[in-house]
Amino acid sequence: MGAIDEFISKINYLNIDTNKREIYNKLKNLTIFKGTRGNPDIFLLSLVLGLKHGKKKKLMNSSNLFRVSELGEDVWIALSIGYAELKDIHVFENKDGAREAFRVCEEYANSGIEILNDLMKKPSEFTLNLIEELLKK
Amino acid sequence: MKLSKITINDYRGFYGKNVIEFDTDKKGKNISLVIARNDTGKTTLLNAIYWCLYGDEQFYSMKNSNKRIMSNKRIVETSMDRKMKVSVSLVFNDEKGPKYEITRDRIFKRVPDDDDELKIVQQGEDIITGMEMNQKGTGFEHIEHIEDFIARNIPKGISTFFILDGEQLKAIFSSDINYQIRDAIERVANIGALNGMIDNLKALDSKYSRAKSGMDPNSGALQKGIEELEERIKENETNLEKSIKEKLKLKKQIQEIENYLESHNEKIIREYGARDKRIREENERIVDEKTVEENQLNSLIISAYILENSKKAINTTIKKFEEIMNSDNFPPAVEPAHVFQLLKRKECICGNKISKNSDAEERLTKLANTQSYKEYFRIISQGDAYLPQMIKSLGDKIGLVGKLRKKISDYETKLQKNEKELHEISQKLKDSNAEEIREKAEEKDSVDRAIIRTERDIIVFENNITDLKATKKEAEIKWNNIKAKTAKDQLIIKKSEKCRALIKYAEEIKLDVMKTIKDSIQETTAKNFRELHHKAKEYEKVTIDDNFSLSIRDKYGGQLINELSQGAALCFGLAFMTALRNYSGYDVPIIIDSPVGKIDEGNRESIAKNIPNQLKDRQIIFLVTSSEYTSVFKEFLEKQISTEVNLTYNSKSGGIDIS
């Protein structure tokens, strides 16, 4: 087990607003997410969409979505986004710092899931947009 | 059949060989006389004749009955343990001369005995032999079953009326005389054959009764069962016939379909169908693979998108990590706990004092708050190594997205091509009446299945018929047995009825014959008696009753049979005997011992006068004493005497002389 795995094992779950759980459940069944890990990937996608649109939203009534360990090495993405926001190396030093970084991620994802839900009204278009966006770069 | 010769060897008083011959050829002379004094062998001669024929003696008084049959003189002359023989031989003549010779031998052995010095023991059974002159008269031949011959020709049962002792004649009217009379009449009338027939018929009837098997109580159910089996066989045969017709019809139908399919190029249709199937299968495989690739692509796109949009934050982190790793205090030289102690003492790691709220205090505080410098070191080191790789992998992922999209596009192109081809095949199949052919093929399958069903039905019906026929055959065998038994029973009943009718008829005939003969004998007996007995007029009626008892009644109807004088009894006995004799088919001599011994002169005259006439042409042998042979008797008989034999005792030899 890598050092990051030991580190994040001390943090149990990533959370969402309870009222967003239905969106997660709906999106999981879409074809675009068939080959993914489900909730972890939808969460990360929501996170980057919220980040991209600069939108965060505090969780009003949080509930567990998945274990942090399910992110695997993608945990670096979450921690990096938290560090970039907080500018605090504690994110990588201790549990509290990491938890703070994940809170930032949860807020971005809480906003980003709404954006994703809207985009998913036209899934094929969404996919093409993503591809187009990626290939442009 | 006349007795012509008697040969006696060592029989009682007849010591040695003794031969008595009677002349049987003199016409009109049918009487032979054997004259002897009392106790000079007259009754012994009668017994010798009887013994020869029947094996026992009949006429001895009590005082003689226990005496030995063997001549005492012979016994005395025989050494101890030596054998001796007594024998009597009778020769009977017919009109041509000697015809039969009957001989009885009995062997004795002398044995020692303290109480009886003349003790002898019989050795084996009597030896009785018979010889008969052959048809040509050239020699004698052995008679097989001589006892049967005697029983047929000189039956012991009626010997009472042929070989008799005049002095004991009254005894024949004893209690069993009825049986003897009845037996005599039956024999005279040859009723024996009829009785034999009746007995045989009764035995046959009894056999028929036993042979009746009786009707089988299950025969009705069995017959009904056979009828039911027949119906079921017919039913199955009808069904079998229908099934066979149905099969033929279906076969014809199949042939027509096959002809149609043949003429409509079924082969091509099948090839198109196979091709269509292959393309569809390939499409299914392509779709599956395409789905896998699409899922992979989607996953990759999302992953890349996430990475792309977090790239800025990652780079910030990378930059910070580089900064940390490039600083002087990385990795930290001291443990955070040690730093915490230094802070308490307001000392720096280098040993200098630090002031409050200074930069050095702030750095040391942070350092002291680090939970584990080793962990911190490891995370920073891992992140420093990994995060640039993540950024770098983004380019690979984007490149892979392009490749996957190309692959998916190829799949789509192939699918389009296949779809086009499928459309073309469909069009060709449509043009080839494919639908109708498919329908025909389906119909063929259906008919094939119907044929299989029909063939199965045929097998079932055939098996049913075989089983039912076997069951029926078994039942029929049983039924035939019952029928045969019934027919047999009916035949037996019929035979039994006939048998009983015959028995009844035979018994009626027998009664009629018996009655006729009895009446005849009764009439003749009465006539003879009146002739023989000079006082016969005193007796009103001579009868033989229905129960075959003889009766003589006076004019008042009183029974006199047991009150007859010796003379009357002899006359009555002779009257009955001569009457019987005249009806008899038995051609045997009449031998009478002491015919007139105890009767008066009047009777003697009547007997002498009438007996020869009454027994005309029959041989009569009178065994008489000299006193019996009176002048009156002699006067009437003399003309008819053929042979006169005298027996005299020879005191020298101890035997009897015959002259």
- Which residues are registered as beta bridge partners of B347? B353
Contact B294, B408 (CB under 8 A): yes
Please name the residue that has the structure tokens 């680090």. B370
What's the pLDDT at A1? 42
Answer yes or no: do B305 and A45 touch at CB < 8 A: yes
How high is the pLDDT of residue A113?
Answer: 94
The residue ranges of chain A whose pLDDT is under 70 are 1-3, 135-137
Residue B65: is its pLDDT beyond 70?
Answer: no
- CB-hemisphere CA count at 13 Å for B105? 9
Question: A31-64 burial, b if ≥16 CB within 10 A, otherwise e?
Answer: ebbebbbbbbbbbbbbbbbbbbeeebbebeebee
| Shortest CA gap B279–chain A (Å) | 26
Any idea which of A10-24, B324-338, B392-406, B593-607 has the lowest mean pLDDT? B324-338
Close Cβ partners of B586 (under 8 Å, ≥ 6 residues apart): B153, B154, B155, B158, B162, B187
Which residue in A35, A92, A135 is closest to B380 by CB distance?
Answer: A92
Nearest to A84 among B295, B313, B402 (CB): B313
Q: Who among A36, A85, A137 is closest to B298 (CB)?
A: A36
| Average pLDDT over chain B, rounded to an integer | 83
Paired tokens of B562: 């047991």
- How far apart (Å, rounded) are the C-alpha atoms in residues B174 and B155? 20
Provide mean pLDDT across the span B292-304.
91
Residues of chain B in contact with residue A41, where contact means CB-CB under 8 angstroms, are 299, 302-303, 306
- The residue that leads in pLDDT, B535 or A116, is A116
What is the ipTM score, two decimals? 0.93
Q: What is the pLDDT of residues B453-505, one digit of tens each?
A: 999 999 999 999 999 999 999 988 888 888 787 777 788 888 888 888 998 99
Stretch (H or E) spanning B344: helix B336-344
Say whether pTM exceeds 0.90.
no
| Amino acid present at B345 | R
Going by C-alpha positions, the residue among B143, B154, B96 that lies closest to residue B587 is B154
Contact B22, B590 (CB under 8 A): no
Q: Which residues of B touch A32 (CB under 8 A)?
A: 298, 302
Secondary structure class of B622 (helix, strand, coil):
strand
**Tally of CB atoms within 10 A around B432:** 16
Q: How far is CA B591 from the centre of its chain?
A: 60
Band of the pLDDT at B217, cuts 50, 70, 90? Answer: low
* Pairing label, strands B140-142, B120-122: unpaired
DSSP symbol at B160: G
Contact between A4 and B402 using a beta-carbon 8 Å cutoff: no
Bridge partners, B122 (sequence order): B108
Tell me the nearest-neighbour CA distance from A103 into chain B, angstroms: 16
> What angle is formed at CA B570 by the lines to CA B564 and CA B571, rounded to 5 degrees?
90
Q: Which of B150, B160, B59, B42 is nearest to B102 (CA)?
A: B150
CA-wise closest residue to B327 among B388, B378, B377, B391: B377
The shortest CB-CB distance from B386 to any of A51, A76, A135 is to A76
d(CA B543, CA B549): 8
Residues of A in contact with B405 (CB under 8 A): 131
Residue type, B146: I
**How far from the centroid of its chain's Cα atoms is residue B142's Cα?**
46
Between B299 and B489, where is the model more confident? B299
Does position B107 have pLDDT exceeding 50, yes or no? Answer: yes
Residues contacting B157, CB < 8 A, separation 6+: B180, B183, B184, B187
Do B308 and A134 make contact, defined as CB atoms within 8 angstroms? yes
Task: Please check the confidence at residue B62 and state whether its pLDDT lies above 60.
Answer: no
**Of the candidate ranges B160-164, B274-278, B300-304, the one whose mean pLDDT is the lowest:** B160-164
Contact flag B320-A83 (C-beta cutoff 8 Å):
yes
Check B390 against A35: CB less than 8 A apart. no
**Residue B603 neighbours by CB distance under 10 Å:** 23
| Cβ within 8 Å, pair B302-A94 | no
Higher pLDDT among residues B53 and B161, named by residue = B53
Write down the pLDDT at residue B30: 84
Domain count, chain A: 1
A48–B405: do the CB atoms touch at under 8 Å? no
What pLDDT is stored for residue B8 in this prediction? Answer: 96
Q: Could you report the per-residue pLDDT of B339-368, keeping only the tens digit for each? A: 778 888 888 777 788 888 888 888 778 777
Inter-chain residue contact A35 with B294, CB threshold 8 Å: yes
Inform me whether the pLDDT recorded for B558 exceeds 90: no
Chain B closest CA to A105's CA: distance in Å? 11
Tokens of B160: 């009472």
Instruction: Indicate the burial class of A75 (C-beta count within 10 angstroms; 0-12, 13-18, 19 or more).
Output: buried
Mutate to test the interface with B, among A5, A31, A86, A89 (most CBs of B within 10 A): A89
Min Cα–Cα distance to chain B from A100, Å = 15
Host domain of residue A86: 3-135
Kindly determine whether residue B302 and residue A80, on different chains, have CB atoms separated by under 8 Å. no
Radius of gyration of the CA atoms of chain B, in A: 73
Write the DSSP assignment of B105-129 as a string of letters: EEEEEE---SS-TT-EEE-SS-EEE
Tell me the backbone φ, ψ of residue B544, rounded to 5 degrees: -115, 115
- Residue B35, phi then psi, degrees to nearest 5: -110, 130
* Separation CA B3–CA B360 (nearest Å): 190
- Taking one residue from A and the other from B, the number of pairs with CB-CB distance under 8 angstroms is 117
Euclidean distance between CA atoms B374 and B358, whole angstroms: 26
CA distance, residue B338 to nearest chain A CA (Å): 18
Cβ within 8 Å of residue B214, ≥6 positions away? B489
Alpha carbons B324 and B335: distance in angstroms, whole number: 17
Higher pLDDT, B83 or B547: B83
User: Are the beta carbons of B301 and A127 separated by less than 8 Å?
Assistant: yes
Band the pLDDT of B434: cuts 50, 70, 90.
Answer: low
Which residues of chain B approach chain A closer than 8 Å at the C-beta? 294-299, 301-310, 312-314, 316-317, 320, 324, 369-371, 375-376, 378-383, 386-387, 390, 398, 401-402, 405
Return phi, psi of residue B579, to 5°: -60, -45
Burial class (CB in 10 A: 0-12, 13-18, 19+), A10: exposed
Q: What confidence score (pLDDT) does residue B56 get? A: 87
Contact A92 B387 (CB under 8 A): no
Q: In angstroms, what separates the C-alpha of A131 from chain B's closest C-alpha?
A: 7
Q: Are the CB atoms for B121 and B109 separated by under 8 Å? A: yes
Interface residues of A toward B, Cβ cutoff 8 Å, are: 2-4, 6-7, 31-36, 41, 44-45, 47-49, 51-52, 73-74, 76-77, 79-81, 83-85, 89, 92-94, 127, 130-131, 133-135, 137
Contact at 8 Å (CB) between B462 and B240?
Answer: yes
Asked if A7 and A96 count as a contact pair (C-beta separation under 8 A), the reply is no
Which range, of B47-51, B193-197, B547-551, averages the lowest pLDDT?
A: B547-551
Shortest alpha-carbon distance between residue B369 and chain A (Å): 9
Residue of A nearest to B387 (CA): A76
For the beta carbon of residue B156, count every other beta carbon within 10 angstroms: 15
pLDDT of residue B464: 93
Question: B422 pLDDT exceeds 50?
Answer: yes
More reliable by pLDDT, B482 or B242: B242
Residues B299, A41 contacting (CB under 8 angstroms): yes
Q: What is the pLDDT of residues B572-610, one digit of tens each?
A: 777 777 777 666 656 778 888 887 776 777 777 777 777
Task: Say what the pLDDT of residue A9 is.
Answer: 75
H helix runs in B79-218, sequence order: 146-153, 177-188, 191-211
Q: Which pLDDT value is given to residue B653?
A: 78
Q: What value does the mean pLDDT take over residues B9-18?
A: 92
Cβ neighbours for B591, distance < 8 A, ≥ 6 positions apart:
B3, B46, B49, B162, B163, B164, B620, B621, B623
CA distances from B146 to A48, B9, B183, B393, B519 (A): 151, 20, 22, 147, 34
Q: How does B248-270 read in b/e, with b if 16+ C-beta sit within 10 Å?
A: eebeebbeebeebbeebebeebe
**Segment B389-394 long-range contacts (CB within 8 Å, at least 24 positions apart):** B390/A73, B390/A76, B390/A77, B390/B307, B390/B314, B391/B307, B391/B311, B391/B314, B391/B315, B391/B318, B393/B307, B394/B304, B394/B307, B394/B308, B394/B311
Q: Do B390 and A83 touch (CB under 8 A)?
A: no
Chain A residue whose CA is closest to B375: A3
Give how far the C-alpha of residue B631 lies from the chain's centroid of Cα atoms, to the nearest Å. Answer: 81
